[in-house]
């Protein structure tokens, strides 16, 4: 029934081709195999972001180019809408109105929620239409039409106004009229200006059920029907024209499902029996049907719906077979293979082509020769089975002028084939005949002249004289450089009457027939202008190139060869080729080169030197091609043969997709839990993650569907990635273990042709920092304050040091200058006088009798404030100005200078007059202090020390400045020490100290208030002494040196009072002033304690109680826990094997002090933070264990061990170096036990800086000392990274 029009239609083709050909449509398929929820698709829309949505019998599908995300209404308590969706439309809010079998619902993709439109509950929705004003028109089965605002508010319900309550289709035309088609009752048309429906009635309409309405670009209204074909309604003349599937129209079916006009103004009709494309000029329809022979055709004939996305791709909704997509922007390659139904190919392995003058194509395959007529699509095969063909593999085909075809077989010699008669003549190698073919494996045949051919074999080049039937062999000759470069030939090429290009397995040979010589080209590693490979596969001259330029395809890239210069320029993958093996080269009509490689096709724009590559992702079914298996057909098509058949295409049809792709985030998951990004970002400016979300993955997609698999991406997490990450075709990014903070994730994408959306997309991400960071913020702040103080002091110290250095340098310079002048002085007496008069420094000479020579500088008199200096011994001059001790030293020193046994340089450092304090009496008898700097240098004459040159300068100013700075330095240091000192002490002890000191001072006050007679003064004095002594003792106990020193000074003053008698009230005044100062300082301390208490959760109260009532171990444990918790450590103190009852109290007190020191050390240096311990494979909680190892001869051996880092020898070395200013190489040689001993050196501590709990305390030297006093000792034993153990030896009977 349908065959007749089909054949008729085929006959039309030659004419049609003149007027416009039926475009070939190649489809991509999406079915449940690709993840679609169901294969009957009823409606398609594209949302604002660019996602495609498909309505099926079982749910909604969102497509991002890679996969489908399925949405089904599963909570029917909230919405009764079924998942069988007939129709859908997107509203202004980004929601989708879905018409289902059980009512209308609004689906919100942001939170995947369904909201029923109540009034429609339990009705059957025929269609949902979104009008251009944003309102929704909904046709309900047997219930007319509802009109809703985009918010779901009912704007109207139309039933009686309509031609029928059964509205089957809704359509809005370009005048914003709503057309409502009915079953057999005509059409109602809503006029938006009047707000009323009018009826369109015509006998033609009375017989049909309207299934589709569309206004065509030409202004007609096309009305599709079920069973009755198409009505073309011309409104102006009110005429209807019926178009049916009668063969004349070309319409494939009378059962029309949908009418669609695309952006190119083409009209498409979806029917139950195929897709129709209307040819306006011909007024006929082209049909597209399911074709078993076409692997890229429609998947089915039953089509429900058609949609065009923003990129211009057509999406065809199929009944039962999912979706077919046609992208007009996609490059189309036609693939021929042996498997397709009715294929003309006997094998998929294709070697050679020839296009005959009559349009027939001769194709040499691995399985014989096929002769294909593209017009009739008929073919016939010639092979060894159906003909005398000697071999089935035909590597090359040539036609001579007489019309004979010459076939190069791969093992069956040379074959002459007569296409008309089918006659075959074979020329084989005959080892006995030297004029026969040299080898039966042929590669190429090339015309030579009217009577001969070039025949290339794997064993040399033959000149075949077909008139004489003789072969003449040309081969490589080892003796001649001008012979063929290799006998294994791959191809022959000649451009006009130029040289013959012979591509071989070992170089390119250019044969000059006139001279009968070969010019050979080989790869030369050292010559960049040589050919890129010795395996030369193909050669081509491009029409637009100069006569002497050739393109040479090799196994290592493409070469541009200049015949005149003999130079090659190579192009490889580095220049953009997909692969370096160039099997064949063709030129298209635009002058572009096309290369078949081992990895797809490549187009080269020669002028731009740009390569555009095509592979399986572009629709190639074959990406591995055969050598020289290509042809440029007369119609402009290029055919390339490979191992999977033939790839055929028209290069001009390959356009560039200019659509800039929109980008969307398709998924954001933490581990494998998905985050609703859209709904989060709808209400918040960023995605908040927690520190514990250690792994997250972001998936994104360029919503451009021309060829989604070739869309490319680059992304970057700002705040983490410094550069863009080129993700290639990969559309996801993962991140792990990011630090807390703010980030921005950015992604940009390109379409299949590399057109980028540079603006891209960004998502701000915030990762909450770990909680402990914030808790420790306070701790960090304290440390910072301390560090700040230390830093400040350090800066000051450096400044002072620098200043001192500068001063020193100044003096050195001056001395040098002076000495230089001294030399000159000897030369000229006149000059000497002038200089001596003018130099600022005091300058003089001493003879061996220590007398000052008369030639001294004038300044000396000013400096020493003495005018009678000449010829006097220096000691006399200095007498009264310096101390006696200094004078003695000076005497010794100057004498030493005259002894040449001592090194001068060495002696210089002993100079006692270096910056000496001198005292001068002024006229008014007051005293002036001056600091003078004397420098002495020996004068050696005839190997004997004959005298001393001396310089003296007044450095008072510098010195005082230095002192001032030193004082500041000392003060800062003290302040820091004081502060640190306090911080080391447990708060409750400090409080106790403060309280008791205040008690004592208050007590003194009470006594003082009650002392009104002199008789009371001695008691007061005694009490002051007792109180002060108590405070001092307590201060010392807590290492509060500052207070101890202060009290000590007051004590000294008050002690003097005791000796005085009688005492008067005024004697006490200075002491009271001091006591007042002490009180102020104690108040300061109190404030500091209070501040500290705020930071410490464990304040005075409980600490005090526990400290008092518990035994040694309990105290230690509390102490350890407290310090550990404040340092962020975890520690458990074990002491099961340590019994205290038989240890005398005195020894116990010693042990307590020692243990406290050791616990401090363990926590400051040993026990690692829990994270570090975990990494090292240790328990997070560190262990300190105290045990009695043995007790013998009243000696107690106690083992104290922690499982921390052990002694850190590197730090010990470092410390040792800085302490003694020796270089490290020395200590490198020390053994570990030797280094371990260093910790017992006085004042040694390996912590870089004194922090809250270490760096003070008594120090390991004192521990050892104290134990020595008890007849014991302490030894250390450690394994780095594992433990540190102290063995404490103590005598139980020793009385200190």
Chain positions contacting other proteins, by CB under 8 A = 885, 889, 892-893, 896, 901-903, 906, 909-912, 1216, 1219-1223, 1226, 1229-1230, 1234, 1237-1238, 1241
Side-chain-facing half-sphere of 1188: CA atoms under 13 Å: 17
Contact 1145, 1251 (CB under 8 A): no
DSSP bridge partners of 539: 552
d(CA 619, CA 333): 6
Decide whether 664 or 1216 has the Cβ nearer to other proteins: 1216
Minimum separation from the CB atom of position 889 to other proteins (A): 6
Decide whether 896 or 939 has the Cβ nearer to other proteins: 896
d(CA 567, CA 323): 54
Minimum separation from the CB atom of position 1222 to other proteins (A): 6
d(CA 521, CA 527): 12
Contact 1290, 1270 (CB under 8 A): yes
Minimum separation from the CB atom of position 970 to other proteins (A): 16
Minimum separation from the CB atom of position 1045 to other proteins (A): 22
Contact 165, 145 (CB under 8 A): no
Contact 745, 776 (CB under 8 A): no
d(CA 1048, CA 761): 73
d(CA 318, CA 307): 12
Minimum separation from the CB atom of position 1229 to other proteins (A): 7
Decide whether 812 or 837 has the Cβ nearer to other proteins: 812
d(CA 509, CA 522): 9
Contacts of 235-243 with C-beta under 8 Å, sequence gap 24+, read 238/202, 240/202, 240/204, 240/205, 242/204
Decide whether 324 or 1212 has the Cβ nearer to other proteins: 1212
d(CA 484, CA 365): 29
Decide whether 77 or 906 has the Cβ nearer to other proteins: 906
Decide whether 889 or 1287 has the Cβ nearer to other proteins: 889
Minimum separation from the CB atom of position 1276 to other proteins (A): 14
Decide whether 324 or 913 has the Cβ nearer to other proteins: 913
Minimum separation from the CB atom of position 1213 to other proteins (A): 11
Minimum separation from the CB atom of position 901 to other proteins (A): 7
Dump the DSSP string for 851-863.
Answer: BBPS---HHHHHH
Minimum separation from the CB atom of position 1216 to other proteins (A): 6
Decide whether 656 or 910 has the Cβ nearer to other proteins: 910
Distances (CA, A) of 493 to 152, 319, 567, 833: 75, 55, 18, 105
Decide whether 1176 or 1232 has the Cβ nearer to other proteins: 1232
Decide whether 845 or 1217 has the Cβ nearer to other proteins: 1217
Minimum separation from the CB atom of position 880 to other proteins (A): 20
DSSP bridge partners of 258: 270
Decide whether 653 or 1226 has the Cβ nearer to other proteins: 1226
Distances (CA, A) of 638 to 335, 594, 610, 650: 12, 9, 19, 6
Decide whether 740 or 912 has the Cβ nearer to other proteins: 912
Decide whether 716 or 959 has the Cβ nearer to other proteins: 959
Minimum separation from the CB atom of position 1185 to other proteins (A): 29
- Report the chain's terminal Cα–Cα distance, integer Å: 127
Decide whether 496 or 1229 has the Cβ nearer to other proteins: 1229
Decide whether 748 or 1216 has the Cβ nearer to other proteins: 1216
Strand 756-767 to 687-689 pairing: parallel
Minimum separation from the CB atom of position 720 to other proteins (A): 48
- Buried b or exposed e, range 807-839, using 16+ CB within 10 angstroms: beeebeebbeebeebbeebeeeeeebeebbeeb
Distances (CA, A) of 1217 to 336, 599, 790, 1262: 82, 65, 21, 21
d(CA 726, CA 710): 14
Residue partners of 936: CB distance under 8 A and separation at least 6: 846, 894, 897, 908, 911, 913, 948, 949, 950
Minimum separation from the CB atom of position 942 to other proteins (A): 21
3 state SS for 47-110: CCCCCEEEEECCEEEEECCCCEEEECCCCCCCCCCCCCEEEEEECCCCCEEEEECCEEEEEECC
Minimum separation from the CB atom of position 801 to other proteins (A): 15
Contact 442, 487 (CB under 8 A): no
d(CA 835, CA 857): 8
d(CA 1081, CA 983): 16
d(CA 606, CA 590): 10
Minimum separation from the CB atom of position 1221 to other proteins (A): 3
Decide whether 766 or 893 has the Cβ nearer to other proteins: 893
Nearest to 854 by CA among 842, 864, 844, 839: 844
Minimum separation from the CB atom of position 1233 to other proteins (A): 12
């Amino acid at each position: 029934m349908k065959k007749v029009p089909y054949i008729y239609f085929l006959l039309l083709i030659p004419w049609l081709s003149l007027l416009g050909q039926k475009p070939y449509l190649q489809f991509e398929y999406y079915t449940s195999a690709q993840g679609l929820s169901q294969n009957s698709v009823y409606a398609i829309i594209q949302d604002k972001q660019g996602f495609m949505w498909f309505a099926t019998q079982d749910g909604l599908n969102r497509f991002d180019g890679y996969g489908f995300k399925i949405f089904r209404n599963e909570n029917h308590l909230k919405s009764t809408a079924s998942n069988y969706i007939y129709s859908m439309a997107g509203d202004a809010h980004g929601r989708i109105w879905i018409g289902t079998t059980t009512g209308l619902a609004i689906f919100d993709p942001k939170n995947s929620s369904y909201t029923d439109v109540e009034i429609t509950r339990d009705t059957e929705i025929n269609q949902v239409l979104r009008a251009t004003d944003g309102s929704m028109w909904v046709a309900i089965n047997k219930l007319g039409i509802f009109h809703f605002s985009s918010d779901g508010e009912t704007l109207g319900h139309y039933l009686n106004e309509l031609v029928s309550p059964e509205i089957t289709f809704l359509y809005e035309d370009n005048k914003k009229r709503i057309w409502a088609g009915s079953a057999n009752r005509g059409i109602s048309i809503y006029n938006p200006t009047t707000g009323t429906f009018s009826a369109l009635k015509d006998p033609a309409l009375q017989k049909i059920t309207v299934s589709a309405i569309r206004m065509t670009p030409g202004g007609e209204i096309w009305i599709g029907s079920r069973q009755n074909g198409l009505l073309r309604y011309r409104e102006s003349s009110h005429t209807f024209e019926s178009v049916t599937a009668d063969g004349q129209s070309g319409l494939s079916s009378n059962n029309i499902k949908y009418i669609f006009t695309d952006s190119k103004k083409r009209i498409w009709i979806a029917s139950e029996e195929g897709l129709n494309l209307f040819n306006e000029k011909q007024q006929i329809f082209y049909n597209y049907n399911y074709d078993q022979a076409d692997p890229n055709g429609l998947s089915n004939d039953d089509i429900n719906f058609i949609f065009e996305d923003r990129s211009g791709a057509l999406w065809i909704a199929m009944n039962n077979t999912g979706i077919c997509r046609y992208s007009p922007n996609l490059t189309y390659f036609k693939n021929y293979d042996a498997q397709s139904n009715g294929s003309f190919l006997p094998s998929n392995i294709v070697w050679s082509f020839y296009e005959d003058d009559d349009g027939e194509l001769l194709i040499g395959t691995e399985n014989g020769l096929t002769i294909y007529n593209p017009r009739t699509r008929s073919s016939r095969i010639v092979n060894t089975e159906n003909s005398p063909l000697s071999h089935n593999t035909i590597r090359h085909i040539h036609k001579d002028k007489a019309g004979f075809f010459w076939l190069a077989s791969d093992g069956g010699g040379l074959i002459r084939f007569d296409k008309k008669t089918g006659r075959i003549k074979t020329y084989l190698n005959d080892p006995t005949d030297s004029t026969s073919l040299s080898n039966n494996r042929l590669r190429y045949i090339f015309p030579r002249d009217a009577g001969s051919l070039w025949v290339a074999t794997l064993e040399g080049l033959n000149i075949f004289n077909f008139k004489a039937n003789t072969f003449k062999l040309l081969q490589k000759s080892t003796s001649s450089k001008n012979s063929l470069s290799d006998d294994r030939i791959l191809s022959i090429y000649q451009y006009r009457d130029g040289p013959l290009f012979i591509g071989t397995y070992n170089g390119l040979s250019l044969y000059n027939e006139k001279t009968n010589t070969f010019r050979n080209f080989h790869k030369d590693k050292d010559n960049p202008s040589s050919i890129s490979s010795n395996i030369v596969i193909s050669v081509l001259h491009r029409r637009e190139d100069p006569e002497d330029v050739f393109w040479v395809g090799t196994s290592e890239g493409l070469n541009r060869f200049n015949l005149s210069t003999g130079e090659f320029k190579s192009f490889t993958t580095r220049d953009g080729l997909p692969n370096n093996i160039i099997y064949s080269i063709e030129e298209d009509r635009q002058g572009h080169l096309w290369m078949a490689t081992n990895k797809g096709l490549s187009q080269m724009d020669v002028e731009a030197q740009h390569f555009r590559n095509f592979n399986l992702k572009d629709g190639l079914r074959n990406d591995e091609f055969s050598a020289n298996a290509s042809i440029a057909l007369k119609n402009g098509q290029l055919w390339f043969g490979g191992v999977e058949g033939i790839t055929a295409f028209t290069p001009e049809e390959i356009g560039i997709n200019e659509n800039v792709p929109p980008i969307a985030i398709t998924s954001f998951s933490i581990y494998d839990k998905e985050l609703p990004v859209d709904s989060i970002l709808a209400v918040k400016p960023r995605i908040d993650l927690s520190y514990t979300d250690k792994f997250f993955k972001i998936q994104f997609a360029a919503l451009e569907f021309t060829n989604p698999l070739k869309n490319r991406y680059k992304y970057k997490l700002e705040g983490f990635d410094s550069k863009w990450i080129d993700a290639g075709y990969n559309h996801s990014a993962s991140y792990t273990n990011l630090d807390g903070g703010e980030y921005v994730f950015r992604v940009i994408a390109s379409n299949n042709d590399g057109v980028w959306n540079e603006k891209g997309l960004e998502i701000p991400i915030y990762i909450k920092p770990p909680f402990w960071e914030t808790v420790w913020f306070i701790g960090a702040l304290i440390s910072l304050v301390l560090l700040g103080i230390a830093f400040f002091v350090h800066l000051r110290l450096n400044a002072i040091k620098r200043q001192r250095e500068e001063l020193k340098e100044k003096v050195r310079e001056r001395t040098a200058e002076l000495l230089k002048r001294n030399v000159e002085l000897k030369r000229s007496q006149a000059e000497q006088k002038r200089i001596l008069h003018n130099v600022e420094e005091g300058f003089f000479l001493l003879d061996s009798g220590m007398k000052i020579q008369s030639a001294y500088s004038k300044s000396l008199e000013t400096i020493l404030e003495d005018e009678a200096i000449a010829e006097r011994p220096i000691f006399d001059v200095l007498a009264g100005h310096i101390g006696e001790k200094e004078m003695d030293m000076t005497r010794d020193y100057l004498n030493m200078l005259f002894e040449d046994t001592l090194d001068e340089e060495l002696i210089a450092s002993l100079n006692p007059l270096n910056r000496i304090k001198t005292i001068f009496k002024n006229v008014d008898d007051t005293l002036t202090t001056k600091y003078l700097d004397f420098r002495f240098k020996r004068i050696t004459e005839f190997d004997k020390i004959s005298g001393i040159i001396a310089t003296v300068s007044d450095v008072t100013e510098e010195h005082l400045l230095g002192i001032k700075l030193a004082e500041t330095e000392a003060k800062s240091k003290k302040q820091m020490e004081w502060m640190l000192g306090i911080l080391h002490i447990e708060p409750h002890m400090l409080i106790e100290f403060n309280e008791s000191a205040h008690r004592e001072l208050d007590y003194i006050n009470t006594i003082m208030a009650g002392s009104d007679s002199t008789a009371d003064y001695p008691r007061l004095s005694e009490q002051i002494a007792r109180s002060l002594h108590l405070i001092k003792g307590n201060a010392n106990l807590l290492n509060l040196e500052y207070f101890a020193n202060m009290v000590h000074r007051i004590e000294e003053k008050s002690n003097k009072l005791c000796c005085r008698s009688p005492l008067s009230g005024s004697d006490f005044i200075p002491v009271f002033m001091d006591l007042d100062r002490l009180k102020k300082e104690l108040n300061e301390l109190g404030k500091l304690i209070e501040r500290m208490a705020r930071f410490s959760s464990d304040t005075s109260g409980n600490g005090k109680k526990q400290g008092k009532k518990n035994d040694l171990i309990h105290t230690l444990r509390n102490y350890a826990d407290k310090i550990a918790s404040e340092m962020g450590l975890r520690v458990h103190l074990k002491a099961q094997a340590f019994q205290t009852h038989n240890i005398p109290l005195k020894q116990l007190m010693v042990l307590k002090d020692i243990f406290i020191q050791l616990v401090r050390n363990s926590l400051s240096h040993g026990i690692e933070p829990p994270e570090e311990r975990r990494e090292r494979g240790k328990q997070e909680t560190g262990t300190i264990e105290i045990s009695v190892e043995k007790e013998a001869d009243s000696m107690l051996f106690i083992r104290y061990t922690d499982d921390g880092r052990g002694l850190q020898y590197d730090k010990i070395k470092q410390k040792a170096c800085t302490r003694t200013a020796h270089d490290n190489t020395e200590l490198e040689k020390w053994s570990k036990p030797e280094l371990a001993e260093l910790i017992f050196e006085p004042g040694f501590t390996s912590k870089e800086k004194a922090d809250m709990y270490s760096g003070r305390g008594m120090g390991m030297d004192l521990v050892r000392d104290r134990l020595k006093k008890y007849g014991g000792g302490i030894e250390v034993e450690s394994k780095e990274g594992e433990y540190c153990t102290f063995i404490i030896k103590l005598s139980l009977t020793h009385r200190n």
